[in-house]
């Protein structure tokens, strides 16, 4: 299975899936069981942020294989089962700058594990909308939120299909710039969010189509990474304020 993936799949590469209410989730897709999560993605403190906890796989590929064995079906790679460097940098920035998020309506765009949104809620955000088109990511984001004593609003749509909600005061985007056409559409969408008055923070993990202009670099740090997931043992992440 390791040979089947060389880079993280783009958020928009998969077909959108309609997310049902919690009671119907299992009839729409198969979540990993409690025992499987406990074994392959146990709850652990977020690195460098011991006040936050999340399900974190020691080996994403082992979890993926076990999940497919358990369900007898093909499953998307469980990218939600790790706190990626870009999400970690975003969560650290939020935790260190709570005044930027307190009382705000925040969108966590392509939320993955949801840890950035959780950090925003812990910082005092009025509301955080966790968005992803992977229903497993949304379900596990909700679980991670509960682990930390907060809750997230769930949004399953591909948001590029609709204008940004003017009620969002802050938009978070972590590690999403993998494909040229999608990245261009995303930056245009984020530009409209900025026009609505939203602050836009982008954590770019040196992906091919991350923004190079119209940004202010707030932080830059190099993180160790899983070479099987990333194809490299270290990756530099920049936290950017988007100012098109």
pLDDT digits (tens, 9 = 90+) for 144-180: 999 999 999 999 999 999 999 999 999 999 988 888 8
| Interatomic CA distance for residues 63 and 115, integer angstroms | 19
pLDDT at 61 over 80: yes
Domain boundaries, the chain: 85-242
Return the CATH number of the domain spanning residue range 85-242. Answer: 3.40.50.150
What sign has the CA pseudo-torsion 188, 161, 118, 114?
A: negative
Residue 237's beta-bridge partner residues?
221
Confidence band for 29, pLDDT divided at 50, 70 and 90: low
Q: What is the pTM of this model?
A: 0.86
pLDDT at position 10 is 36
Confidence band for 14, pLDDT divided at 50, 70 and 90: very low
Confidence band for 12, pLDDT divided at 50, 70 and 90: very low
| Interatomic CA distance for residues 232 and 230, integer angstroms | 5
């Amino acid at each position: 299975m390791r040979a089947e993936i060389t880079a993280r799949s783009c958020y928009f590469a998969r077909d959108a899936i309609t997310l049902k209410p919690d009671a119907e989730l299992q009839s729409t897709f198969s979540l990993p069981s409690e025992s499987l999560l406990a074994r392959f993605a146990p709850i652990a403190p977020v690195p460098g942020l011991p006040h936050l906890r999340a399900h974190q796989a020691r080996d994403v590929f082992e979890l993926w294989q076990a999940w497919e064995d358990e369900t007898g079906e093909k499953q998307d790679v469980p990218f939600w089962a790790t706190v990626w460097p870009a999400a970690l940098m975003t969560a650290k920035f939020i935790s260190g700058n709570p005044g930027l998020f307190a009382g705000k309506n925040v969108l966590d765009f392509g939320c993955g594990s949801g840890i950035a949104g959780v950090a925003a809620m812990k910082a005092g955000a009025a509301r955080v909308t966790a968005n992803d088109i992977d229903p497993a990511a949304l379900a596990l984001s909700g679980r991670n939120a509960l682990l930390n004593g907060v809750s997230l609003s769930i949004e399953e749509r591909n948001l590029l299909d609709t204008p940004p909600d003017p009620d969002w005061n802050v938009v978070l985007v972590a590690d999403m710039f993998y494909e040229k056409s999608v990245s261009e559409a995303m930056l245009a969408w984020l530009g409209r969010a900025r026009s609505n008055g939203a602050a836009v923070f982008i954590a770019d993990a040196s992906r091919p189509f991350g923004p190079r202009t119209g940004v202010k670099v707030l932080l830059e740090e190099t993180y160790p990474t899983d070479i099987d997931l990333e194809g490299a043992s270290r990756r530099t992440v920049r936290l950017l304020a988007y100012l098109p």
